[in-house]
Amino acid sequence: MKLFLRFLILLIFLSSCSKAENQDFRLILKVSDCVGCPVKLTSYDPLYFDPIKLDSFYLDYSGVKERQLQVNELTQAYVSIGDSMQLPILIKKGETLEVKSRNETLEFSGSLSELNSLFNSIIQLISDYETIDGEYILDLELEEFFNRLDDLTKKTTFVLDTSPFLSKTERVVLQKVVKVKSLKYKYNYALMNYNFYLNEEVPKQISEIEDFPDFPGLLPFDYGFLAKAYLDMRVYPKVWPTTDDRDSINAFRLRADSLLRKSDYNSEVKNFLRAVNIKEEVYSNKNREVLKSLFLEYQKSSENSKYLSQLSKVISQKSNLIEGTEAPNIIGLDINGERIELSDLLGSTVVVDVWASWCKPCIKSFPQMDELERRFPSSRVKFLYVSVDQHEKQWKKANDKFLADKLSIIANDESTFYEDYLIAGIPRYIVIDSNGLIIDADAPSPLSEKLEEVIQSGLLD
């Protein structure tokens, strides 16, 4: 009898373990044309845009692998397979997704198959609409811009409405994807073409752009971008001082925090927007008292916020990036796979341009950076282009097109570049003197004359 009871208890324990394991997200890959290839599964931190490594492994020699991951809410991730494929997917606790790929043709199965099939169709449709007949969407005139977005909305709505196997919940998820992507274009367009700090009169289409979406970060990277853009377009102009008083300028994010605390957003969204506001203060202001006040107020009123530990850590790291401190080493691989380090370039002032193949503002500034490079002798000033691309093939293609004759690297897995330099957005410019000390870890854009002044200040006599 005792033996039977022990056996029964063991069965119950094994059953409970099996149920716990079934709560994980299961990913099954079958890639017949990439046997033995390396695979990376990543997501993004919405606050700092850092890539979050979820898993890495190799396909077996039949091109198959099954993995289980612990995830919580539904979120976007990227599966990178070898050098030829980067696939956006939606993952969720307790669900299964099987991805078959043969000759670059994808087939989904499992409980998340319909959602991911349509998700990828919508992402592709949005990408197709980004550039039509050589005209990039953000370069269009106002009416053309909104006409193209309206047309895109109609097409995506049609795709969703005519998908018979999509559940109501899945349809809502994909509607949110479309809303986030559309809103990202609108915010980008508005900020590129209008100065909200000057209280200029703007067209009705711009003034009526929707506010920040009040649902969690389904698309972490885009959600993080929207938060920053929302602050720049809707919040900061309201609290920006009308005079040039330095104290008032320094304290404008304190006023922004007060405004956000009184907003009607739910606590999750409110905590996130306030955290982004503090992050912006970390990157752009040297007034430690303002930063301290912001953090203490956040700590007091949002003690359960999941962003507290991140903010505390980054504020501590900020002290390592002030002028005169030793610059963290930068390690990467050049286009030929050769290892390049910042320490190899010391003896000259080094100007670091942080970019990515998908970053249009980064690429637009390359001509000005090239012009700036020509003004300084290469023996005294080195220009280092550091890509934060997650996909090497895309980086190489853009590098060959725009930076073929430049000193250019991609930050590899060995590099701690993101963390060391608090890379939360690009383009980003860093100037380091010939002794390896930081001159400016958040230098001005080459579109202004101030970057040249920063470089000049670091040149030795």
What is the residue-level pLDDT of the chain in tens, covering all 461 positions?
444 444 433 334 344 444 444 578 999 999 988 888 899 999 888 887 777 889 999 999 888 999 998 887 888 999 988 877 789 999 999 999 999 988 778 899 999 999 999 999 999 999 999 999 999 898 899 999 999 999 999 999 999 999 888 888 888 889 999 999 999 999 989 988 888 877 778 899 998 898 888 766 688 889 988 999 999 999 999 998 887 777 777 889 999 999 999 999 998 899 999 999 998 888 776 677 888 899 999 999 887 788 998 888 888 877 778 888 899 999 999 899 899 999 999 899 999 999 988 888 888 899 999 999 999 988 899 999 999 887 788 889 999 999 988 999 998 666 788 778 888 778 889 999 999 999 998 888 888 888 888 888 877 54
Burial class (CB in 10 A: 0-12, 13-18, 19+), 298: buried
Residue of 167, 50, 70 lying closest to 118 (CA atoms): 167
Residue 239 CB coordination number (10 Å): 16
Q: How far apart are the first and last CA of the chain?
A: 91
Identical fold between 24-111 and 331-458 = no
What single letter denotes the amino acid at residue 196? F
The predicted model scores a pTM of: 0.75
pLDDT value of residue 199:
74
Kindly give, in sequence order, each residue whose CB lies less than 8 Å from that of residue 340, ignoring residues fewer than 6 positions away. 331, 332, 333, 334, 384, 407, 409
Cα 264 from Cα 262, distance rounded (Å):
7
pLDDT value of residue 144:
96
Determine the 3-state secondary structure of 4 from DSSP. helix
pLDDT value of residue 442:
85
Superfamily of domain 331-458: Glutaredoxin (3.40.30.10)
Instruction: For the chain, give every domain's residue range.
Output: 24-111, 113-230, 241-321, 331-458
Retrieve residue 210's tokens. Answer: 């929707």
Cα 404 from Cα 316, distance rounded (Å):
38
pLDDT value of residue 320:
79
CA atoms within 13 A on the CB side of 330: 30
Cα 165 from Cα 256, distance rounded (Å):
45
Hey, what CATH class is 24-111 in?
A: mainly beta
**Residue where the block lists tokens 């700036």:** 372
pLDDT value of residue 148:
96
Residue of 441, 429, 283 lying closest to 366 (CA atoms): 429
